[in-house]
Amino acid sequence: MNDQTIAIIGAGLSGLACARVLADAGAHVTLFDKARGAGGRMSTRRTEVGPFDHGAQYFTARDPAFRAAVAEWQAAGVVAEWQGRIERVGVGPGPEPSPGERFVGTPGMSALLRHIAGELPVCFETQVTDIRRVEDGYRLDEYDGPPLRPFTQVVVAVPTPQAVPLLTTHAPALAGRVAQAEMAPCFSVMAAFDAPLPTPLDGIFFVGHPIGWAARDSSKPGRPAGERWVIHGHWGWSAEHLNDPPEQIAQALLAAFFSALEMAPRAPTFVATHRWRYALPTIPLAEDYLYDPAAGIGVCGDACNGPRVEGAWLSGTALGRAIVAARG
């Protein structure tokens, strides 16, 4: 594949997994992402009180290939098992245990993405707004910038609502299929406290509640000392409050958190709110990936495999292998 130059739009896990397969096969890949660093929803927010995994909180490993990859990442020191006490609240008279293996990037979720990226060329703070067909392949239009050099193929690895307009002109069938997936939002509240909160739990699933999940983020392996929590609004609640001010979101979710755990409210020493507009697929696609070999355009992401980190990796890996097989 030495003659292949492939642009990958999106440097989250699926885009990086696809890029890694293609680069290992000899293709020349370049990733583009509008953010300042790799990760997407697996990014880590760094603050004056310590880091927060404000998107994906952990991941599980079921597929044999993914489990093998996780073992390699553990050996490299960028992944560790999180053995926190995690329970479900709201399903009965008391919390119910939620057992199972859970893995996290160390010292933050984004460490795994940096490891996968390695030496791959990634253009950050580059927002691709359009894909244009030219004689020698595709050129990418960048917001407030000159057209990016031509590529023989393009991979779109961004949330489906952002992918559809990029696909419509040159891969309308893919655009129509991608448009059938539905993505929901999620608010993430990051809060630090001056002393440990009086709960033995490190992670909590909430059922029938404005909160979907809360975690003592500082309990994960490799994190600095402190008492840092991440609270995720349930996607339905987040959709209802999508345009509320960040301060109002933080106040509401913190109040709901203390109330659900029957704790006296405590003022955080630090609080910040992040809105993930496209956080998880509520109606995912059945396919592992989408690919039009004739057009030279593919799509991957967790919307193809459901709302799991493993699904994003499997999707990107499968698309990369399909492109290698098609082009030789």
Give the mean pLDDT of the chain.
Answer: 93
User: d(Cα 284, Cα 281) in Å, to the nearest integer?
Assistant: 5
Q: What is the pLDDT of residues 305-325, one digit of tens each?
A: 777 899 999 999 999 999 999
Query: Peptide bond preceding 107: is omega within 30 degrees of 0, i.e. cis?
Result: yes
CA distances 145 to 67, 133, 148, 312, Å, are 41, 18, 8, 29
pLDDT for 94 beyond 70: no
165 contacts 23 by C-beta, under 8 angstroms: no
Nearest CA-CA partner of 27 in 320, 316, 301: 320
User: d(Cα 138, Cα 127) in Å, to the nearest integer?
Assistant: 16
3-class DSSP assignment, residue 291: strand
Q: What are the structural domain ranges in the chain?
A: 1-34+126-180+286-328, 42-110+182-283
With bands split at pLDDT 50, 70 and 90, how would you rate the model's confidence at 200? very high
Q: Return the structure tokens found at 117.
A: 């990226």
269 contacts 220 by C-beta, under 8 angstroms: no
CATH number of 42-110+182-283, picked from 3.40.50.300, 3.40.640.10, 1.10.132.20, 3.90.660.10:
3.90.660.10
CA distances 19 to 6, 8, 282, Å, are 9, 7, 26
Taking residues 239-243, what's their average pLDDT?
A: 97
Q: What is the pLDDT of residues 147-197, one digit of tens each?
A: 677 899 999 999 999 999 999 999 999 999 999 999 999 999 999 999 999
pTM, full prediction = 0.94
Q: Return the structure tokens found at 21.
A: 């397969």
pLDDT value, residue 37: 82
Size of the chain, expressed as the number of residues it contains: 328
Residue type at position 250:
A
Taking residues 83-109, what's their average pLDDT?
A: 86
Rg of the chain over CA atoms, in angstroms?
20
User: d(Cα 201, Cα 217) in Å, to the nearest integer?
Assistant: 11
User: d(Cα 22, Cα 4) in Å, to the nearest integer?
Assistant: 9
Residue type at position 234:
H
In DSSP terms, 204 is beta-bridged to 87, 214
Which pairing describes strands 96-97 and 28-32: parallel, antiparallel, or unpaired?
Answer: unpaired
pLDDT for 244 beyond 80: yes
CATH superfamily of the domain spanning 1-34+126-180+286-328:
FAD/NAD(P)-binding domain (3.50.50.60)
In DSSP terms, 80 is beta-bridged to 104
Q: Return the structure tokens found at 182.
A: 């539905």
Nearest CA-CA partner of 155 in 122, 173, 131: 131
Taking residues 75-84, what's their average pLDDT?
A: 97
